[in-house]
Amino acid sequence: MKQFLNFINGEFVATRKTFENRAPVDNRVIGLVHEAGQAEVDAAVAAARSALDGDWGRMTVVKRVELLHAVADEINRRFDDFLEAELADTGKPRSLAAHIDIPRGAANFKVFADIVKNVPTESFEMATPDGGTAVSYALRSPLGVVAVVCPWNLPLLLMTWKVGPALACGNTVIVKPSEETPATATLLGEVMAHVGIPKGVYNVVHGFGPGSAGEFLTRHPGVNGITFTGETRTGEAIMAAAAKGVRPVSFELGGKNAGIVFADADFDKAVAGITRSAFENCGQVCLGTERVYVQRPIFDKFVQALKEKAEALKIGPSGEPGVGLGPLISAEHKAKVMSYYELARAEGATVVTGGGAPDMPAALAEGHWVQPTIWTGLPESARVIREEIFGPCCHIAPFDTEEEAIALANATDYGLATTVWTQNLGTAHRMARAVEVGLCWINSWFLRDLRTAFGGAKASGIGREGGVHSLEFYTELRNVMVKL
């Protein structure tokens, strides 16, 4: 039985209280996770603070960059270990984890290290009232001890997306991974120790939210800032905790993202793109598409084509060749998604395909499998259209004009992402300006340049990370004025 221990001050720490880690593909127990209590969180914060005051805090940028490159290289050297850990925790297709999760997880350390090494700061010269001269310049100081609260859908990638820039900027971190996916955050502790990251710089505390490691960490007065990816409701609770001490937060929260397909789009590419955005990672992608709006002349053709694509997805465990759809993360999440499948019928949806759970072989029967599902015919007021489901499903509705498509896309409390498909350059740029989101893809989806800003609008988040924008959260800008 695997034991997932906390990683505090460079050492793996067991606790008396444990909980089970179960595999989504068959619900078997694959390990025991050691839950951190208040004492362990206190120890992690103390270790992180001590590292700031010690070797890490005195380390040059050049040396930090060298160490973070070593972290990336070691993740890639142990690629198979990280891949197997991620597959066991999430059950996602091997091709997805091998091409996105692990490589991008490693790349986050190098990209942000190089950005910090090369980013300039401002300086100005001014005349003083006495006829002299003064020069002012900016210094970037680390924020301090940063709490990193991670989701379960892309565990390594989204954790290192925050840990990478935080460490590059000279902070120390305490990671609280999802209770569903403890493996890669724990494994990264081995990497940190192996390459010589000083003790206390990277810490991991396992547990849940309320009354557990998550609450103890986010409420801790020794934490200087909190970064979180997850659902909006949890973000609201963390934001309330951060208000004590007026600590900054950076949130990427929920979404109910729209996909918009114009009649002049490259039809086959649009169908392929929406197939990915609706069903990839079993729909468990915050940037995924759950609302699809298709211009009326191609509506019926598009619905039929997407139906065929959904039904062609092979459902199964990560090890099987050609698998395009894995399980949902947990029994609890499956129950949630299935409740929306039932609600869609109750609200009067036409079920184009799916709407239930597939029949799986006996060895996988206890896994958290659901069918990719497409609906039509619902009014925009339906809960299935208003609320985030986070499963492999979407509703497709027709639209006539560009103005109507904009109104439909913006009629939500969320504002994370959208994907627009058109071959008209004017339409593309007008849509990008008009849709109220943090990320807008034109004729693509999930295409990312790590140097660009990432984050949501409205209830989908606070702040921007990525490239130099990460420095806005992970550092504090200090002005120095020198009278010559």
Q: Which residues are annotated as catalytic?
A: 252
Contact 454, 252 (CB under 8 A): yes
Q: What is the DSSP string of 125-166?
A: EEE-TTS-EEEEEEEEEE--EEEEE--SSSHHHHHHHHHHHH
DSSP conformation class of 411: -
Type of residue found at 150: C
Task: Collapse the DSSP code of 435 into the 3-class scheme (helix H, G, I; strand E, B; otherwise coil) and give the result.
Answer: coil
User: Rounded to an integer, what distance in angstroms lies between the CA atom of residue 484 and that of residue 481?
Assistant: 10
**Cα distance between residue 456 and residue 253, in whole Å:** 7
Q: What whole-number distance in Å separates Cα of residue 369 and Cα of residue 475? A: 43
Closest CA to 19 of 153, 151, 148, 180: 180
Please give the single-letter amino acid code of residue 458.
Answer: K
What gap in Å lies between CA 189 and CA 6, rounded to an integer? 9
Identify residue 352 by its one-letter amino acid code.
Answer: V
Contact residues for 84 (Cβ-Cβ < 8 A; gap 6+):
none
Of 225, 204, 191, 233, the C-alpha closest to 44 is: 204
Q: Which amino acid is at 91?
A: G
Give residue 200's region: left, alpha or beta (phi > 0; psi -120 to 50): left
Q: By the 8 A CB rule, do 232 and 460 touch?
A: yes
> Residue 175's closest CA among 155, 194, 195, 199?
155
d(CA 134, CA 306): 64
- Going by C-beta distance under 8 Å and a sequence separation of 6 or more, which residues neighbour residue 99? none
